[in-house]
Structure 1
Amino acid sequence: MIMMPPPSAILRFPSICNPVFVSNYNDTCKFPRVDAVNFLPPTSTKISAAKHPNLPCLTAEKHGLKETDSIDNCRTLSVEEKEGDHQWRGSFEKNLFVAAIRALPGRRMSTLLANFEKDGNFGCISDFNDLLNALVAGNKLNLDLALQLYSRLSSYGLEPDSSTFSAMIECHCKRNDVEEAERVLNQMLDSGCAPPEVSVFTTLIHCFCQRGKLQKAFRALDMMEKVGRKPSVQTYNCLLKGLCYVGRVEEAFELLQDIKKLSTVLPDMYTYTVMMDGYCRVGRSDEAMELMKEALEMELQPTAVSFNALFHGYNKEGRPLKGIKLLQQMEQRGLSPDYVCYSTLLRGLLLWRQIPAAALIYEQMVGCGYEADEGLMNNLLRGLCNRRTLADDGLFQVAHQVFEKMKKRGFTIDCRAYNVVIEVLCRLNKVDDALVSLREMINLGSTPRVITLNILIRTLCERREANKAVGILVLMLENHIQLPRLSYDSLIDELNRQCLYFGASSVYSSALVRGVVPQNEPHT
C-alpha cells in the first residue's frame, strides 16, 4: 500500500516561484496595514537631510514633510500622552498586553513583566528593546502590540536607540508596510543613532523588491554602503530576485557579474537558482542550464528548487522530455526529487501529450511515496484514456489504477474523465464496469455525453444484451436525461432482431413522447 507523505514533507520544498530570501521574513506580505495605530513616538528629533548630505533620496520630502518639521508633527497626541500619563487607556488593553508578555519565551520576559506590573515602567531603553524585539518576533497580534508600545515610548521617559529603530523597521516590513519602514529608517539616520545592521537593510530591500519598488531598493543599497554597511549575499539575492521577477534578466545577469568580482561576497546556490528561474521565466532555459553548470564547477550543491526551475522552463518551452534527463541527473548526484519536481514534470508531460512518459513518471513518483493531487490525477486520467493511447493496453491498466485510486481517496472525478473512462471500458469489452461507472457518474450529478451513451448502448446491443441497454434508457429517463436519436435507433434495431417487438414498440413510443422521431420503426 502506498502511503501519502505528511503535508510537512511536501511543504519542506517550496517552489522557486516563492523562495525565501531571508528566513525570518518570509511572511511579510501576510499582515494587513492598521492605519489607526500611531507609528512614531512623540520625540523632538528633527528630520534634516543636511546632517547626511551624501545619502540617497530617502528623505522627509518623500513623505510630504518639511525639513524643519519635528516628529511631533507626524501624528496627533492623545490627551493622556500630552499630560505625560504613561498608563494604558483601559484595563482590557493592558490585560491583553500583559497576557502577550506572559506568552513570550524566556526568563527575561518574566522579569520585565514583574517590573512592568510593579510600577508600569521600564528601567532603561535596553529593557524596552528586549520586550519590543520579542513582540516583533511574534505573530500579527504581537506586531500590533509592538506598534502600540512604540507609540508610548516617550511616556516612559525613554529615547529610541538603534536597536529600537531596527526593531520597528522589521515590524513594518513584516506588516508589508514598506513606506512606514522607510520613514523609520530616515528618522533613525537623522537622529544620529548608529545605522542599522546589514540584516535590517536586507529586510527593507526585500520588502521593496516584493512591492516592485526596485528603484528604492537600489537606493537603499547605495545608502547602506554610504553608512559603512557591506551588503551580504542575501542582500544581493533579494535584488536579483526582484529584477528577475519583472523580467529584467539582463540587468540581473550584469549584477551577478558584478557580485562575482567582489572580494567580500561569494554567490551561493540560491544566487544561481534565482538567476536560473529568471531565465526560465522568459523562455531561455538553455542559458539557465549553463548557469547550473557554472554553479557545479564552483562546487555548489544544487537543490530540488534549483532543478524545479529548469523543469518549469522546459515545460514552458514545450520540451518536457528534457526534464526526464534532468531527473536522472538529480538521482545521479544523490539528490532525491521532491513532490514539486515530480508534479511539475508530470504536468508538463501531460500538457504536451507525452502520455507514455507521463505514465512512467507517475509510477516512479508513486514508488517514491508521493501521490498526485486531485487536479493532477484528473489530468492524468484524461491523458491516459485518450483515444490515441488506447492501443497500448499497459497504459489503460495504469488509467484503471488511477481511476480506482481516485475513487478510494474520495476525489471528485470530473465529467470529462468519467466519459472517457466509460468509452474506454466499452472498447475493451468491460461493459459491466462501464455500467457501474455510468451510474456513479449520474449519482454525482454529472450528465454523460451523447457520444458516450451511443457507444455504451451500441456495445450492449452488439453483445446481444438488449435488456441492459433498455436499463440505461430507464436510468436516463429517471434522471431526466434525454437520449439521442441514434441511441433509440440502436435499441429498436436490436429489439427487432431479437423479435422483442413489444419492447421495440415501447421504446419507439417513449421516443415520440419526448419529441424524438427514431429512424428505425418496430416490426409487427
Structure 2
Amino acid sequence: MFVMSSPRKAESLVFGNPSIIHNPERIHHKKVQLALISVSSKNASLISSGRSSIDLVKRRKLESLHSDERTGRIRLVNLLDKIKAIPFKDTSKILSIMEKEADTLTLSDFNGLLMALVTANEPDLALALYSNVASSGLALAPNCWTFSIMIRCCCKKNDLDEAQRVLHHMMENGYSPNVITFTVLINSLCKRGKLENAFEVFEVMGRIGCKPTVQTYNCLLKGLCYVGRVEQAHEMLMNMKKESIRPDIYSYTAVMDGFCKVGRADEAMELLNQALEMGLAPNVVTFNTLFTGYNKEGRPHQGFRVLKLMKEKNCMPDSISYSTLLSGLLKWGKIRAALGVYKKMVGIGFEVDGRMMSTLLRGICMKSWKEKDLIEDAYQLFEKMTSGVSVIDQSTYGFVIRTLCMGKKMEEALAHLQEMIRTGNVPRTITFNNVIQTLCMEGKIREALIVLVIMYENGKIPSRTSYDILVKEFNQRGQLLGARNVYGAALKHGVVPHRVPLR
C-alpha cells in the first residue's frame, strides 16, 4: 500500500523494478505493509542524515512532512481495510465510503488505494472501485497513472483484450503511456502466446516515439521462444545492438532456452560465449538452461563441462543444477556418473528427490549384478532411504533383495522380504524366486522350502521356475523324496515343472 506524491514514483510502484519485469513475483498484502515501513524508514534516514547539513528549521519541516505522510498512510490503510471488508458485490457501500472520504481524498490518494488493492492481489475490487468512482459525482478524473494501474489490473485478470482497450482509450484521451506501461502489457501478451498482439503494441510504441528498454525486448524474446520462433528471437537479439539497446544476460538466457528446447544446445553454448565476451555475468538460471538442453539431446555428460564453467565464472551451482544433471544421467543410463553426482549433492547438503533416489537405486542394483563393487553402494543408498522418509515401491524393493542375494547377504535379504510382507507389500514372484535360488546355492534348502510356504500363505502361487529350482536342488542332493514332494505340490496347484524327480 503506497502513497506517493509523484506520478513517476507511483508508476515505479505500479510496475515494480524494470530489471525484474521478466520474472514478476506475486506480492502479498503483508509485503505491502512492509513497503510502507520501508518508505517511513527512508524519510527517517533523510531527516537523520540532515543533522549535519540542514539547519533546524528545515529539519522541522521534514519532520512535519514525515508525520503528515505517516498520517496519510494510516488513513489509507484504514480505508483499504474497510473496502476489503465489504462483500464484493455490494459496490454501493464502497461508493458510500468513498463519498465520505471525498473531501480529503486526492487523486494521488485514490491511485495509491487502487495500487494497494492490486498489490494485495485484489484486481477485481480495484476495477470495481474505479468503475464506481468514475460513474459517480466524485471529482477524481483519472490520469496517466490511473490508466496504467487499470492496465495492470486487466493483465492480472488475464483479460488482455480489455487491457488493450484501456491502452487505446488512454491514448485517445491524450495520455502518453510510458515504457513501463507498454512493457507490462507486452509481457502479459507474450506469456499467453499472443505474439501478434504483443508486436502490435510494440509497433504503437514506435509510432508515438516511446523507446523500448532491454526489458521490453526480453519479454518479446521469451515470447518468441515460447512459441518456437527461435530463429526470429535470435535475429532480434542480434539486432538489439543496432537499436542501441545493449542485451543483458536475461536477453541471452531467453534465447539460449529457446535453442535448448528445440535440441540446439551447442548453439546455446555459443550464445553464452558471446555473452561472456561482452562482459556479462551469467547466473545460475543461464547455466541450468544448458543442463536441460544437453539432457534433452541425450548428452548429459556435457553437463560436467557446464558445471566446470560455472565454477570458473564464480557461479555456484544450486540444487536445481545438480538435480537436472542427475536426472539426465539417470535417464540415459549413466549410472556410475549419476552415483558420483548424488554423492556430491549429499556432501554439499542438497536434498535429493525421492523419485530420483529410487531410479538411482534400481540403476545401481541392475549394474551391480555384473559389477560387484557397486553392491555396497546399492545397500548404503537403500539404508539411507529406509531411514528417511522416502517411499520404496515394490519394484525397487525387489531389485534390492535380488542385489542382496547376489551379494550373499541372505540375512538382510530375508529380513527385507519379511518387512515387505509385514507392511502389506507382498513381493513379486520373481523376488521370491531370487531368494529361493540363492538359498539353494548356499545349501540352505530347508530355508528355501520355508520361503515357498510363505508364498502360499500370502496368496502367491509359485511359478514353474520356483518349483524347478527346488526339484533340481533335491535331485542334486540325492534327496528324491523331497523332489517328489515338491513336484507333487506343483501338480496339485496346477503347475507342471520342467524338472522331474529322478527315478
TM range (shorter): 0.7 to 0.9
1:192 aligned onto 2:174: yes
How far apart, CA to CA, are the structure 1 residues paired with 2:33 and 2:309?
Answer: 51
How far apart, CA to CA, are the structure 2 residues paired with 1:379 and 1:489?
Answer: 32
Q: Which of 1 and 2 has higher RCO (CA within 8 Å, sep 6+)?
A: 1
Structure 2 residue aligned with 1:162: 144
With normalisation by structure 1, the TM-score equals: 0.75
Distance 1:190 1:417, change over 3 A: same
1:134 aligned onto 2:116: yes
Mean CA deviation greater in 457-466 or 327-336: 327-336
Distance 1:464 1:284, change over 3 A: same
* 1:25 partner amino acid: P
How far apart, CA to CA, are the structure 1 residues paired with 2:425 and 2:137?
Answer: 68
How far apart, CA to CA, are the structure 1 residues paired with 2:303 and 2:296?
Answer: 11
Per-residue deviation, residues 322-381 of structure 1 (Å, max 9, x unmatched): 111211121222221111111111111111221111111111121111121011111111
Report the secondary structure of 1:25's partner residue: coil
Structure 2 residue aligned with 1:207: 188
Report the secondary structure of 1:372's partner residue: coil
* 1:247 partner amino acid: G
How far apart, CA to CA, are the structure 2 residues paired with 1:103 and 1:343?
Answer: 35
| Aligned-pair Cα RMSD in Å | 2.9
How far apart, CA to CA, are the structure 1 residues paired with 2:98 and 2:465?
Answer: 89
How far apart, CA to CA, are the structure 2 residues paired with 1:281 and 1:235?
Answer: 22
Q: Equivalences for 1:95-114 in 2 at 5 Å?
A: 105=36, 107=70, 108-112=72-76
Q: Is the 8 A contact 1:224 1:230 kept in 2?
A: yes
Match of 1:232 among 204, 213, 216: 213
Post-superposition shift, 1:407?
Answer: 1.5
Distance 1:514 1:188, change over 3 A: same
With normalisation by structure 2, the TM-score equals: 0.78
Q: Is the 8 A contact 2:310 2:317 kept in 1?
A: yes
How far apart, CA to CA, are the structure 2 residues paired with 1:507 and 1:424?
Answer: 27
* 2:258 partner amino acid: G
Mean CA deviation greater in 202-211 or 486-495: 486-495
Distance 1:192 1:447, change over 3 A: same
Match of 2:239 among 233, 258, 282: 258
Structure 1 residue aligned with 2:106: 124
Structure 1 residue aligned with 2:284: 304
Distance 1:283 1:103, change over 3 A: closer
Match of 2:375 among 373, 385, 396: 396
Aligned residues: 430
Q: Is the 8 A contact 1:259 1:266 kept in 2?
A: yes
1:428 aligned onto 2:427: no
Post-superposition shift, 1:221?
Answer: 1.0
Report the secondary structure of 2:462's partner residue: coil
Structure 2 residue aligned with 1:89: none
Q: Is the 8 A contact 1:181 1:204 kept in 2?
A: yes
Structure 2 residue aligned with 1:413: 392
Q: Is the 8 A contact 1:104 1:134 kept in 2?
A: no
Structure 1 residue aligned with 2:203: 222
Report the secondary structure of 1:152's partner residue: helix
Distance 1:104 1:447, change over 3 A: same
1:475 aligned onto 2:454: yes
Q: Is the 8 A contact 2:124 2:153 kept in 1?
A: no
Structure 2 residue aligned with 1:357: 337
Q: Is the 8 A contact 2:22 2:219 kept in 1?
A: no
Structure 1 residue aligned with 2:21: 22
Post-superposition shift, 1:131?
Answer: 0.4
* 2:409 partner amino acid: K
Match of 1:327 among 307, 317, 328: 307
Report the secondary structure of 1:386's partner residue: helix
How far apart, CA to CA, are the structure 2 residues paired with 1:343 and 1:199?
Answer: 36
Match of 2:249 among 262, 269, 272: 269
1:516 aligned onto 2:495: yes
Post-superposition shift, 1:444?
Answer: 4.7
Q: Is the 8 A contact 1:349 1:357 kept in 2?
A: yes
Mean CA deviation greater in 362-371 or 121-130: 121-130
Distance 1:191 1:251, change over 3 A: same
Post-superposition shift, 1:452?
Answer: 3.1
Structure 2 residue aligned with 1:90: none
* 2:388 partner amino acid: R
Distance 1:355 1:239, change over 3 A: same
How far apart, CA to CA, are the structure 1 residues paired with 2:137 and 2:501?
Answer: 99
* 1:474 partner amino acid: V
How far apart, CA to CA, are the structure 2 residues paired with 1:374 and 1:246?
Answer: 33
Structure 1 residue aligned with 2:160: 178
